[in-house]
Structure 1
Amino acid sequence: MTTTGRFFCADAARTRGDSFVGTAPHGTAWVLIEYRGGWPANGFDGLGLEPGTKALVFAAAQAVRARVLLIRRHGRQGPQGPPRWAVLHYDGTGAHRRHWGTWERDEDLAQIAPALSAPTFAAPAVDAPALDAPGEPGGRRPVVLVCAHGLHDACCAVRGRPVGRALSERWPELVWECTHVGGDRFAANVVVVPDGVYYGNLDAASSVAVVEEHLKGRIHAEHLRGYTDLFPPQQAAVAAVLDRFGPAGRHDYAVARTFRDEDGWQIRVTGRPPGPAAVDVVVRARRTPQNQLTCRGPATSSAVVYDAVSVRPV
């Protein structure tokens, strides 16, 4: 996808062959706020909400290092009842925690703060409106987020919106467009929460295939940026195992040990059948040459790439 005369960071990254392995931002909690108006370039931070409520939500999210994202349905559909909000939290066992509600006044968003700080997320009342995204404790499907934040970076809109349309047509109850998730040059980006799985370099066709496989419990390495509960070298190690031994479920592999030496990392990944019981992966880091990495930022910078140089079953 190219446009003559204008720089697009995702086009440039694909031309260079930039690696996206190990680029998922670390985190295990997300706040989703449905906002049907225009999204500011800096997302939630730029909204003109009631100051006290906004500060309360920001402080509560910061306390647990939760990412706050604005969401909307693709195509800015007409209002379907009051806007929704959700707090989603990853759990390493797969028993993810979820809390959701609705808001009509800015002050209603204050409900997010106790939802974030609760030791366990309360299930909604029987008659409480849900987020339209299945996810009650006990194993329903996750929320699928597509970054389409054009004011933050043009590639998020140019590449993200066709993906949002394709996924929304296939899973209208699961899919939301969202504000910036990181990694503009890897657009289109899809994040599955609260699974905490980042996918990049997607288009309409590949996004449907990737999400369909994800929902069936098969995560492939091809478009995987990483798991958000792991740090970049660990993400690269798990991706290397998936690439070598084939797709697996979100919790089929775990990082059992990480040892840092002067050359990089030695990481042991343990697995469930039919995959290998244990795999030792050696990961090395390197820096790329200076390049323009976003559409909006003309300054050049280098990026760190994590290469799995050895993958050995134990």
Structure 2
Amino acid sequence: MAGTASPGLVWVLIEHRGGWPPNGFDGLELDAGTKALLSSAAWTAGARILLVRRPGPRPRHGPKRWAVLRYESSGAYQQLWGTWEREEDLAGIVTALASPGDPGLPPVVLICAHGRHDPCCAVRGRPVGRALSERWPELVWECSHVGGDRFAANVVVAPDGVYYGGLDAGSSVATIEAHLAGRIHAEYLRGYTDLSPLQQAAVAALLERFGPAGRHDYQVTETIREGGSWRIHITGKPPHPANIDVELQVRRSAPYQLTCLAPSTGSVMVYEPTSITSDERLQRNSESSD
């Protein structure tokens, strides 16, 4: 799974309690002008629009919520929230996309449960949504398609920008509990949305080698192609290694059934770490070259 998180720094969440069209927001029967306004603002901001709803029984009436979540590399994530009842109320999202958000709010936990996009997401995602919402009812939402149906159940923590996959009810609670405590594990990690696939895979390899770490404990500083492989240089905060090089090979997988609805088999890129060199060895190599 490492290296498969979809890129993105800004998310727009729109609560929609009814059924979701296969193509999510684009398929909603909204006023054409409102939809065009939102789509244009989201495109300008580089934002992804997701439909959301609470797991389990939901009220049929009453105001619904929207949010703009923004990732900041400094760690000062920003959020703006509002409500809507009439379609024109969604114009508040346009203003929010151009405004600074509120820092310090807890993250949002999104579980893909978009069954009309791919049934695997609903079958595997909804039990995860129920389990997580029992533990963190205010943080958890089901959401529309986030990419990587083959990894259902998929969970995205935003605006942290962290993708997890292959979860079930039990593993999801343990994974999110660790995440909220500042310990991201490699086992179910798909990647960080501010990094390229190669960089995501390199960070996942470090977490597997050296143990869990916080979202900003490692920073990618250099990505170099060397012949048929790649070298990713990463710096770490104490108590993690200060300097690490991860070498990776890139290959294409054998064809297989990628999603429940896929009409035929397909192949994907796989990022395989071949070596991890940390501080002590890097120092020895530098001294020998001198």
What's the TM-score, normalizing by structure 1? 0.87
2:209 maps to a residue whose letter is R
1:89 aligns with 2:54: no
* Corresponding residue number in structure 2 for 1:43: 24
Long gaps (5+) in structure 2: 280-290
The amino acid that maps onto 1:292 is Q
Runs of 4+ in 1 over 6 A off after TM superposition: none
CA displacement at 1:189 relative to structure 2: 0.4
SS at match of 2:117: coil
Structure-1 separation of matches of 2:269 and 2:244: 24
Helix, strand or coil: the match of 2:131? helix
1:7 maps to which residue? none
The match for 1:214 is 179
Alignment coverage as a number of residue pairs = 279
The aligned runs of 1:238-249 (5 Å cut-off) are: 238-249=203-214
Helix, strand or coil at the partner of 1:244 = helix
- 2:245 is paired with a residue whose SS is strand
Q: Report the secondary structure of 2:248's partner residue.
A: strand
1:68 aligns with 2:33: no
Cα deviation, residue 79, structure 1: 4.8
Residue correspondence of structure 1 range 32-181 to structure 2 within 5 A: 32-79=13-60, 81-118=62-99, 120-121=100-101, 136-137=102-103, 139-181=104-146
Gaps of 5+ in 1: 1-19, 122-135
Could you state the TM-score of these two structures normalised by the residue count of structure 2? Answer: 0.94
* Residue 77 of structure 1, CA deviation: 1.7
2:163–2:189 contact (8 Å) kept in structure 1: yes
- Encode CA deviations 1:50-100: one digit per residue, 9 max, x unaligned: 111100111111112211100000013225841000000100111011111
Q: What is the alpha-carbon distance in structure 2 between the residues aligned to residue 80 and residue 256 of structure 1?
A: 49
Q: Deviations over 1:118-175 (max 9, x none)?
A: 3x22xxxxxxxxxxxxxx41x3320000000111101101100000000000000000
| Preserved CA contact (<8 Å) 1:36 1:76 | no
Residue pair 2:62, 2:85 contacting (<8 A) in 1 also: no
Among all aligned residue pairs of Structure 1 and Structure 2, give the percentage whose two residues are the same amino acid.
Answer: 65
- For residues 245 and 200 of structure 2, the distance between their equivalents in structure 1, rounded to whole angstroms, comes to 13
In 2, the alpha carbon distance for the partners of 1:208 and 1:283 equals: 31
Query: Would the aligned equivalents of 2:78 and 2:105 in 1 still touch at CA under 8 Å?
Result: no
Contact 1:31 1:68 in 2 (8 A): yes
C-alpha separation between the residues in 2 aligned to 1:64 and 1:140? Answer: 21
Tell me, yes or no, if structure 1 residue 290 matches structure 2 residue 255: yes
Cα distance between partner residues in 1 of 2:188 and 2:254: 23
SS in 1 for 2:12: strand
In the alignment, which residue of structure 1 is the partner of 2:230?
265
User: How far, CA to CA, are the matches of 1:205 and 1:191 in structure 2?
Assistant: 16
| Structure 1 segment 178-189 matched on structure 2, within 5 A | 178-189=143-154
* Correspondence for 2:194: 229
Structure 1 CA distance, aligned partners of 2:81 and 2:12? 10
What's the secondary structure of 1:259's corresponding residue?
Answer: strand
Residue 157 of structure 2: aligned partner: 192
Which region of structure 1 is more displaced relative to structure 2, 198-207 or 53-62?
Answer: 53-62
The equivalent of 2:288 in structure 1 is none
User: RMSD of the alignment, in Å?
Assistant: 1.1
Map residues 1-16 of structure 1 onto 2, 5 A cutoff. none
Check conservation: 1:71, 1:176, Cα contact below 8 A. Answer: yes
Deviation at 1:264, TM superposition (A): 2.5
Letter in structure 1 aligned against 2:94: A
Distance 2:221 2:45 in 1: 24
- Contact kept? 2:10, 2:159, Cα under 8 Å: yes
Report the equivalent of 1:301.
266
Contact (CA 8 Å) 1:254, 1:271: kept in 2 or not? yes
Q: Who is 1:126 aligned against?
A: none
Partner of 1:13: none
CA distance in 1, matches of 2:225, 2:8: 21
Displacement of 1:113 in angstroms is 1.3
